[in-house]
A = this chain, B = another copy of it.
Amino acid sequence: MSDTLKIGTKEFTSRFLLGTGKFSLEKTAEAVNAADAQIVTMALRRAKEAGSSNILEYIPDTVTLLPNTSGARNAREAVRIARLAREVGCGDFIKIEVIRDTKYLMPDNAETIKATEILADEGFTVLPYVTPDLNTARDLENAGAAAVMPLAAPIGSNKGLLTKEFIQMLIDDIDLPVIVDAGIGKPSEACAAMEMGADAVLANTAVATAKDVVSMAKAFKMAVDAGRKAYLAGLGRVLYQGGDASSPLTGFLED
């Protein structure tokens, strides 16, 4: 009866992951709660900072931390950041983010595969962030990834589900949870990803750039749940030609 998301050895009932960049620390706890997020991402830098600005103080204890390797330009740097994250107490979950392009910030799939292999061997629960590509996803599966996180659109763009066709291939053919990450700009787009059969959605910029951050976090959670429910309920057919009346069109007046 329970519909849970399993990643590594953990199990989650929430399928909405929240990123914590670009908005104030003060809003963090409130947003995480509104989002009912059980996994929260943050840059390691923000976890390492001393004093009151350490983001960890603002994230509820019940939440699984998913530090990312933001700042890494290759596999070696990503591995180094991951190890540091574990050392400073962020746990075994790690989101691999390797970016050498500074204009569009597109992930480097090849370096991400390398880092995944190394870190999976070291016992990390590895969630690699990639441009959706079936061959890359298969390589990540073989490398020991615990999930795959394909981007919907360039990070921070709020452009929506531009890679739909390619994410669908991963959903259909890869035996790992597919968590749509980056580019989702509206709850309706998160809902659509879930309707396609994605296992979860992560949002950050779409929440952070809303006028009311906390309400938007909640709206995303609701939309993700709606999309999951619709997926499980089985969407109806699309009619490619003509219309089909819900109500009887003829005969009434002749009764």
Q: Which residues of A contact B (CB under 8 A)?
A: 19, 21-22, 41-46, 48, 68, 70-72, 77, 80-81, 97, 99-110, 131, 133-136, 138-139, 153-159, 162, 164-166, 169, 173, 185-189, 191-192, 195, 204-212, 215-216, 218-220, 222-223, 225-227, 229-230, 232-240, 242-253, 255
Give the number of times this chain occurs in the complex, counting copies: 4
B242 A104 Cβ-Cβ under 8 A: yes
Q: Which 5 A-B pairs have the closest CB atoms?
A: A209-B236, A211-B234, A156-B244, A21-B246, A43-B247
| Option from B70, B173, B215 in Cβ contact (under 8 Å) with A249 | B70
CB pair B218–A103 under 8 Å, yes or no, is: no
Nearest CB in chain B: distance from A41 CB, A: 8
CA–CA, A154 to B172, complex, Å? 15
Distance in angstroms from A170 CB to nearest chain B CB is 11
Q: Which residue of B lies closest to A105 (CB)?
A: B243
